[in-house]
Each structure stands twice: as structure tokens, then as C-alpha cells.
Structure 1
Amino acid sequence: MIRVLVILSLLQVTLTCEETIYVDNGAKWGDWGDTEMCPVGTSARAFELSVEPSQGHGDDTALNGIRLLCAEPGSEDIKARITSTMAKWGSWTGIQWCPSGDLISFSLRVEPPIEGDDTGANNIMFQCSDMKILKGYGSSWGDFGAWSEICYTGICGIQTNVERPQGKGDDTALNDVKFCCC
């Protein structure tokens, strides 16, 4: 019985977010969702985005979700796909893998508040532990901000800030993100 309690205690410690990386250019609309973590022994080695294309004269939301793909070191065998809160628009753009190693840092492309149709976050870039830079297949509005700190042990959790649907108002969808270090 004691052995089971010790193992459960270790799993709980491993599955919590002890260190977080973030950027300072995220849009301020919305609410933070729950943090979701990779399974024990895995880390984020790839990602994909949910993006709504330009709506022309309609309401644009751009980046709607970020999904991390968790795998064991040196493997492309996906053990889990994790997200935090997402908006309902858009479709998945395709998986982008680190050639070797983990996702360790990020930069977020955000459109600042404008008169009219705001979009918030539009795209993301990740740095891999092998120094490769992966640029998401998101929208091009706004600018990439400064890079986050580095998770030297790899990224293994995600928490997003997403605005709820505004009805007839202006929707922005995903506005900011934080990642947990393993």
C-alpha cells in the first residue's frame, strides 16, 4: 500500500506545471483555460495549429487552437495530443516535428488592437532543442514578439487564453499561451 502511495505521489509531482514560459505580447481578451500536460516520460516534440482563413468582409479569428504532440525522447510515436481551451472556428494545418529533440521556446505573432476586426494571436514559432526554428501555418496579421525563456528540459504542458464567442460582436479566439517546462 505504501509503495502505491509513493508512486501516485511521484506521478502527481511530475504532472504539475512547476515552471512556465510565456511572452509579453499576447492579446488581453478572454479567459485562461485549464493546463494540460504530456504523459509522464514524454515531452512536446511537434505541434499543429487550428487556424481560420481570412473571411474577407466577415469576422476574422485567425489562430483558434494549439495542439502539442507528446512523444518519448528520440521517437515520433505519438503518446498524446494535448490542448488547452480552443475556439470553434478553423481547421488543423498539419503537424510540424522537431527534427530531433523537443520544443523548448516560442514566439507569438499577435495583431495589436485595431479599429474594427481584431484577431489577437495569429501564428507561433517554436525553437527546437536542436536549434531548428518551426514557423506555424497561421495567419500573417500582426508581428512576432520577443522569444520566451527556454525550457531546457523541454515543453510538456500548455495553457491558452481564449475569448468566448461574442455573438454579433467581434471574435478574436486564441489570444495568448503559456507552456510548462518538463
Structure 2
Amino acid sequence: MGTDDFGITHLKLFCVYPNASDANDMIVGVNDNNPPGAWEDVQVCPEGKWLKTWMQAVTPSLGSDDDDALNNIVFYCSSDASGRSDVVGQRLLGTGDGRYAQSSTVTCPFSTLPCGVRAKVHAYQASGDDTAVNHVQFACCFIDL
């Protein structure tokens, strides 16, 4: 049997309060296996800007070939300090994996920002085709900045 590739196995969000003090970090992903790999460099929005929009790239099912599911997620920062503008700000790099088309962008509604995340995770099988994280969803919450 050949190798079994994973896509994204974990997603860690570093959260801060509007006054720039640290809040709780959020990590979602595979918790029953520690696949090889390394964390990507931390990607942050410019000071005073917030995550606002994202899109993800997922490997389509390859049938009997090796699937790796979620292989890239790209975030965009807000263009204003309040996070209320509909104009998209700076694009963060994501993983840089461009093998598959990105989904359409998802943006938190007016006056809201991402405040929670959950992941659809394929459980580790020990044999067969493991995919790790298959999809992520973000919750948007009102934030008064």
C-alpha cells in the first residue's frame, strides 16, 4: 500500500480582545492521531484589523486514490478597525496549497466577526485512507468595537 496523505490536521486561532490583550486560543482538529507535519507560520491581521472572510479548498473524493480533504483555508482581514465594512481587507496566505479551487468566500454579516470554530474530522483508521479535517465552520458573533 502507498502512503496515506493528510490535508490540514489542526487549525489554531489566536484570539485577542479589542484592547489587544490575549483571549483564549481555539484549536480544532484531529485528536486521536498525531500525523507528521509542522505548524505553518502564524498569520495575523494587521493591528486593529480582524478576521472577517474566509474560503477553503477541499480535495474532491478521488475514489480509490489518496484523499486528503481540507488542504487550504485562506482568511481575509477586515478593512476597518470596527469590522463593519463590507470591503475585504488584506489576504492572509493560508497553507499555500493551490491544487484545488477555493470555495466561494464566506463573510460574517454586518457588525459580526468570527468567534467560534468547529471542524468535521475524519477519525483515524490506522489503515486505509485517512483525511483528517474535512471541513470547518465558523460562528459569527456581534462585537461592539
Same fold (TM over 0.5): yes
Question: How far 1:83 moved relative to its partner?
Answer: 1.8
Q: In structure 2, give the amino acid aligned to 1:150.
A: C
Decide which moves more: 143-152 or 153-162.
Answer: 143-152
Deviation of 1:102 after TM superposition, in Å, equals 1.1
Whole-angstrom CA distance in 2 between matches of 1:134 and 1:83: 18
Residue 65 of structure 2 is aligned to residue 120 of structure 1: no
Conserved? CA contact 2:30–2:123, under 8 Å: no
Q: Which amino acid aligns with 2:14?
A: L
Q: Between the two proteins, what is the percent identity of the paired residues? A: 31
Q: Is the 8 A contact 1:73 1:101 kept in 2?
A: no
Indicate if the aligned counterparts of 2:29 and 2:132 stay in contact, CA closer than 8 A: no
Distance 1:65 1:151 in 2: 26
How many residue pairs match? The answer is 125
Report the CA distance between 1:78 and its aligned residue: 2.8
Give the letter for the 1:86 counterpart.
Answer: V
In 2, the alpha carbon distance for the partners of 1:111 and 1:165 equals 18
* Match of residue 139 from structure 1: 97
State how 1:9-158 maps to structure 2 within 5 Å: 57-73=2-18, 75=20, 77-86=21-30, 88-89=34-35, 90-99=37-46, 100-115=48-63, 116-130=65-79, 131-137=89-95, 139-152=97-110, 153-158=112-117
Structure 2: gaps (5+ residues)? 80-88
- Deviations, residues 135-179 of structure 1 (Å, cap 9, x unaligned): 212533322110113244211100000101122110100000110
Which portions of structure 1, spanning 4 or more consecutive aligned residues, are displaced by more than 6 angstroms? Answer: none
Distance (whole Å) between structure 1 residues aligned to residue 105 and residue 133 of structure 2:
18
Higher RCO (C-alpha 8 Å, min separation 6): 1
Q: Is the 1:163–1:172 Cα contact (8 Å) retained in structure 2?
A: yes
Is 1:60–1:171's contact at 8 Å kept on the other side of the alignment?
Answer: yes
- Say which of 119, 135, 138 aligns to 1:160: 119
- What is the CA–CA distance in structure 2 between the aligned matches of 1:63 and 1:114, rounded to whole Å? 17
Distance 1:127 1:140 in 2: 17
What 5-or-longer segments of structure 1 have no aligned partner?
1-56
TM-score (norm: length of structure 2): 0.77
TM-score between the two structures when normalised by the length of structure 1? 0.63
- The alignment's C-alpha RMSD in Å is 1.8
| 1:175 equivalenced with 2:134 (yes/no) | yes
Displacement of 1:74 in angstroms is: 5.4
Deviations 1:98-117 (A, max 9, x none): 11321111100111011310
Contact 1:74–1:101 under 8 Å retained in 2: no
